[in-house]
Structure 1
Amino acid sequence: MLSRRGFLKAGGLSLLGVGLMGGIPAFVAEAAASDKFLAPYKKAKTLVCIFQRGAMDGLMAVTPFTDQYLQAARPNLFMSAAKGNGVSLIDLDGHFGLHPSMSAFEPMFREKRLGIVHGIGSPNTTRSHFDAQDYMESGTPFNKGTSSGWLNRAVGLLGHDAITPFTAVSMTSAMPRSLYGDNPSVAISNLNDFTIQMRGNQQGANMAAKSFEDLYDQTSSNLLKQTGKESFDAVKMLQKTDVRNYKPANNAIYPNSPLGNSLKQIAQLIKMDVGLEMAFAESNGWDTHFNQGTDNGIFSRNVADLSNSMMAFWNDLEAYQDDVTVMTMTEFGRTVHQNGTGGTDHGRASCNFILSNRVIGGQVYGDIKPLANENLEDGRDLAVTTDFRSVFSNVADKHLRINNDKLLFPDWDGKAANIMRG
């Protein structure tokens, strides 16, 4: 039998925010109004994953500023932590410095609620964006045939049936590879315009109520009926809250960016107690081959957006902070040496950030050797010394209480990191 995920990918009903004038179609609103609203679900533990697509330069985000080899390799990109010479790095521990545009992270690091893992990456040496993202999201770095994503498998290991259409939500226009699989998940680009649309049919969002109901009633496929039921249930839940006029707590100000808007809407879903356990968002534009900049420029704008969006989200959560962990990921890092166009090329290891009341924060994890040529992977890159699966599994195990690494990451027999409290 065709799985629900396979059906969705093949052209079935999908849940999308398509930005239509008028929002939810009238026939959907009428269907939702004809039944009672669903009761709120109990407050759940939520893992929020942010994929930085394009490969973030971890050596610029969190710089080993005492490394003389890095300074020599990046004469135009290297930044110092020394005061009095213009904008400087934020000295974290006498060795690593946080990019100044990520100053929003400093209080969380000092309070030990932000952990950083350096030298993290995939054991697969590909420098293809597409392949590296696919391997990281599937969680099987040497198997392109894996049909499911690691976050979808995590949903299946949480020990419950599909009791809410919002168990796993990606704030994207299309389902990310991380959430492919048989366990329930939806992709929503905008809560304000949450609709049901026939994928591939530009007129789908405008079809009349009778057309939709005929399709729904006449089909003999239980699969389609279940997809339609989840769609109606999701609309019912959202109708209980005025998502358009949401007011963040603590005067949190989200950047007016795709990431900021995504995290703002994830915060709404968490506070609505709709049973959200897995949330996914994207940050794009990290492929800095040209004019990367230092304290200003492309990279600076990106890290400012990342840190400011995450901190607005965190401040907005208030009493929900104990139940939420935010983790970033990126497919690989950048070369140690700058290139001839003021940027960096595809490399190997990068770093990631974990924001949580459960993280053993206030430190930079990882084994980063001096960046002399003999210590570089392939003579050019920061070596991968921490397998991404060791970090992802530790976060999932400690925060979500999954404790089944064999199913979460097949073909991996490594040891989980120790960066989260039990």
Structure 2
Amino acid sequence: MITRRGFLKAGGLAVFGIGLGGVPNFVAQAAAQIKAPGLFKRRKTLVCIFQRGAMDGLMAVTPFTDEHLRAARPTLFMSAAKASPGKPLIDLDGKFGLHPSMAGFANVFKEGRLGIVHGIGSPNKTRSHFDAQDYMESGTPFNKGTSSGWLNRAVGLLGHDTATPFQAVSLTSSLPRSFYGDNPTLALSNLSDFNIQVKGNPAGANMASQSFEDLYDQTAQGLLKETSKDSFEAMNVLKKLDTKNYVPANNARYPNSALGNSLKQIAQLIKMDVGLEVAFAESGGWDTHFNQGTDTGIFARNVNDLSESIMAFWTDMGTLQDDVTVMTMTEFGRTVKQNGTGGTDHGRASCNFILGNDVLGGKVHGKMDALAPENLEDGRDLAVTTDFRSVFSEVADKHLNINKDGVLFPEWDGQHIGVMRT
């Protein structure tokens, strides 16, 4: 017997589609229908992007005046000098330079909408991708037994009930660790199919091939009827809309990539007023052990996709930008010294990007000492000087009006760093 709690809450709802890039016609039309009344009250939306594989923060945002870094990276070091070989870094403040493939970020940084935190990471020193991601997504870096993810807890702290199934949506093929927990969440590989998979529930998983309507009919005697009636009705309303191809606002052009397609669909959900408050997407390929490149190569392609995808989303938001904040995260950084195969190995601190009109942007936040050997963590890595929880909690507090840090991050009692406007 599937219990209502077991179906709705224990693992969240994982909803998946057949392709990565498809956008259903009814969703496209819903987003295009600007004059159509919203199904739910518009609320603030936090969009989190996990860069899986560990981004080299020292190449994304380079302390280009540091001669120790230049010496440690004879073929990977990049300069802001105009006469340097290849494309120069984009000088942000005379000390830090933005990778040239992230040029889309330059204007929003200058406008004070994009903030960067350098030296951010976990207090747990593991260099295991799996463990570090688990600790960051659970929000408890010294407790592997935490059953919930920090974003799921954030949903529970929003302070209001909701009838919408779209309150917390991950555009991923499976439910991310951040969304595990007692509060209902959705995982969608795309919006073109609404079949259900119930995480950790074999009986529910057997119903994965059935539609939402069929499943609802089967549970009409009380399993989901009271709790989810409005959710299924919302989906039925969406499906009745006329079909059109979605056209992003303001000539926004999303990259044809997994991240670009995910953010495009998140934009559509926001415009549809379906009650989206927490959104999650992923960007892969950041484990650059080999042939990392400088202004061209694997890393350059990755940061270009990241910045272009985010900027397309931001442009598409238009007048809704006040309601949205975007935050990136990655499990750890890379070694200061390059390795023998033209790459960098697992390190400690990295950097992250926070975009929004309530962000104290135009500044590289955090503390970074000169990268002399005596200042490096374990003699090899950029030291973690900002606990990721001090940033994640501040962004959630200020943007979503969550002010219960002890619940959001139960093992942490640190301070915010001032990356959000007061």
* AA at the equivalent of 1:310: I
What runs of 5+ residues in structure 2 fail to find an aligned partner? 25-35
Residue 377 (structure 1) shift: 0.2
Alignment partners' CA distance in 1, 2:120 and 2:301: 23
Alignment of structure 1 residues 236-255 onto 2, 5 Å: 236-239=236-239, 245-255=245-255
State the TM-score, normalizing by the size of structure 2.
Answer: 0.89
* SS at structure 1 position matched to 2:317: helix
Query: How many angstroms does 1:80 deviate by?
Result: 0.5
How far, CA to CA, are the matches of 2:356 and 2:213 in structure 1?
48
**Which residue of 1 is the match for residue 421 of structure 2?**
421
CA distance in 2, matches of 1:252, 1:242: 23
Rounded Cα–Cα distance in structure 2 between residues aligned with 1:14 and 1:228:
15
For structure 1, list consecutive stretches of 5 or more residues without a partner in the other structure.
25-36
The aligned counterpart of 2:39 is: 40
1:357-407 per-residue CA deviation (whole Å, 9 max, x = no partner) reads: 011110101111010110000000000000000001111111111111000
Letter of the structure 1 residue corresponding to residue 359 of structure 2: V
Tell whether the 8 Å contact from 1:114 to 1:359 is kept in structure 2 after alignment: yes
TM-score (norm 1): 0.89
Q: What secondary structure, in the 3-state scheme, does the structure 1 residue paired with 2:396 have?
A: helix
Q: Deviations over 1:100-122 (max 9, x none)?
A: 00000000001010000000000
In the alignment, what sits opposite 1:81? 80
2:107 maps to amino acid:
P
How far apart, CA to CA, are the structure 2 residues paired with 1:416 and 1:209?
A: 42
> Distance in 2 between the 1:273 and 1:238 partners?
11
Change (3 A) 1:155 1:11: closer
The residue type equivalent to 1:216 in the other structure is T
Give yes or no for contact 1:191–1:243 (8 Å, CA) kept in 2: no
Residue 216 of structure 1 corresponds to 219
User: Matches of 2:379 and 2:301 in 1, distance apart?
Assistant: 30
1:230-251: CA deviation from partner (whole Å, max 9, x where unpaired): 7624522532556771110001
User: 3-state DSSP class of the match of 1:245?
Assistant: coil
Gap change, CA 1:383 and 1:65, over 3 Å in 2: same
What is the match of residue 31 of structure 2? none
Contact preservation (8 Å) 1:67, 1:371: yes
User: Is the CA contact (8 Å cut-off) linking 1:4 and 1:182 kept in structure 2?
Assistant: no
- Cα pair distance change 1:242/1:411, threshold 3 Å: farther
Q: 2:73 is aligned with what amino acid?
A: R
| C-alpha displacement of 1:215 | 4.3
The Cα RMSD (Å) is 2.9
Instruction: Name 1:191's counterpart in structure 2.
Output: 191
What is the alpha-carbon distance in structure 2 between the residues aligned to residue 381 and residue 262 of structure 1? Answer: 32
Q: Distance in 2 between matches of 1:188 and 1:208?
A: 14
Deviation at 1:84, TM superposition (A): 2.0
> Do the aligned partners of residues 214 and 268 (structure 1) sit closer, same or farther apart at CA in structure 2, a change above 3 Å counting?
closer
Q: Following the alignment from structure 1 to structure 2, what is the Cα–Cα distance between the partners of residues 378 and 309?
A: 35
What's 1:56 paired with? 55
Correspondence for 2:175 = 175
Q: Identify if the C-alpha distance between structure 1 residues 333 and 97 changes in structure 2 by more than 3 Å, giving closer, same or farther.
A: same
Deviation per CA, 1:99-154: give whole Å up to 9, x if none.
00000000000101000000000000000101100110011111111111111111
**Aligned equivalents of 2:125 and 2:382: distance in 1?**
12
Cα distance in 1, alignment partners of residues 314 and 307 from structure 2 = 10
SS in 1 for 2:336: coil
2:339 is equivalent to residue 336 of structure 1: no
The 1:257–1:210 alpha-carbon spacing in structure 2 relative to 1, beyond 3 Å, is closer
Q: How much identity, in percent, do the aligned residues show?
A: 72
Q: Does 1:349 align with 2:349?
A: yes
Do 1:58 and 1:118's aligned partners in 2 also have CA atoms closer than 8 Å? Answer: yes
CA distance in 2, matches of 1:306, 1:399: 22
